[in-house]
Amino acid sequence: MGTEFPYELGTMCYIEVAADGAVSQGADRAAYQRALAGQSRLFAVWPGNYRSDLFAIDDLDQYARGMGWVHDETRTGLADHEHQVRWQIGEFERNPNGTYISVDLWLDCGCTIRDLRAFAEQMRQQRGWDVATSGGYSGVGPRFTVRARRRSLGPQA
C-alpha cells in the first residue's frame, strides 16, 4: 500500500516472528532493527468491523517512515530543516491565559503540516514548544492552527 498504509493507527496490532519461530506482539525500534538484520519478520493486523486483515511488512524503510522513526518529508509535509515560523495567539482563542492555547502560525519556509506529531517534535527541538498532539490541528493555505502550552512559546505568549 506504500505511503497510504496507516502504520500509526491506534488499533493496529503488530506481530514479530523471530527466526526461531518465537512470536511476540508490539512494534518498537528494537523489533525494526531485528527485522532489518534478518533476525525476524514483522506483520501488521488491520482490524475491521467484520474481519481483520494480516499484512506482511516487506518494506521496512516505509514502515520506519510511517512510524516516524525516519523522517519522511512526503508523508509529513515538513522538510528536515529549521522552520521559519510566524505565529500569534489564535484569533478565536477564548482563554489566552490558559495552560494550552490555540496558536495561528505560518510556515514561511513553504512547509505544510500533514503529521502533527512530526511537527510537534520539530518544534520541541527547534524552539522548545510543547505542541499538543492529543487533539487535531487545522490548516487553510499557509495558515495553521495548533494547540500549544502557553509558557513554552516564550514571553510573546
The predicted-structure confidence for 27-57, as pLDDT tens digits, reads as follows 888 999 999 999 999 999 998 889 999 999 9
The predicted-structure confidence for 144-156, as pLDDT tens digits, reads as follows 999 999 999 987 6
Of 113, 119, 89, 117, the residue nearest 103 (C-alpha): 89
Question: Residues 70, 137, 152, CA angle at the centre, nearest 5°?
Answer: 80
Choose between 152 and 118: higher pLDDT. 152
